Amino acid sequence: MKNQNGKVVGFELSSQDPEKAAAFYSSVFGWEVSEPQWDYWAVSTGQGDGMSGGIGKGPHDHPHGTRIQIEVDSIEKTISSAKENGAMVVRDKMEFDDFFLAYLVDPTGVGIGLIEKK
């Protein structure tokens, strides 16, 4: 299996009005926006050559802004290494149907998501 550690695989836009944000990005940039699931609207930014991502209701710890999602081979190992290098865990490993997800803040205050495929 090819090592996927460090590949940027998506993005997440946090907004307190995600429906309005989804309408804006769809209208202005032509993004395809899916029906929401868990207050999260999946988006596709292009026909095969664009990056996938989503627009969600921003939680208290990230009410507005953008986070990239980085694919890793092991969320546990990456979190451990990130903490050793000054990162803070915002949300520990969460399980979804096809992947695991965690959120960190790097030592400079930038929020990132970690994705581990099942």
Q: Where are the domains of the chain?
A: 7-117
Average pLDDT of the chain? 92
Closest CA to 101 of 110, 89, 84: 89
pLDDT the model gives residue 1: 45
Q: Cα–Cα distance between 58 and 90 in angstroms, integer?
A: 13
Identify which of 40-49, 57-66, 84-93 has the greatest average pLDDT.
Answer: 84-93
Options 3.10.180.10, 3.30.930.10, 3.30.9.10, 3.40.630.30; CATH for 7-117 is 3.10.180.10
Give the sheet arrangement for strand 32-33, strand by strand: 32-33, 40-44, 52-57, 7-15, 65-71, 111-117, 99-105, 88-95
Instruction: Tell me the pLDDT tens digit for each residue of 46-83.
Output: 877 778 999 999 988 889 999 999 999 999 999 999 99
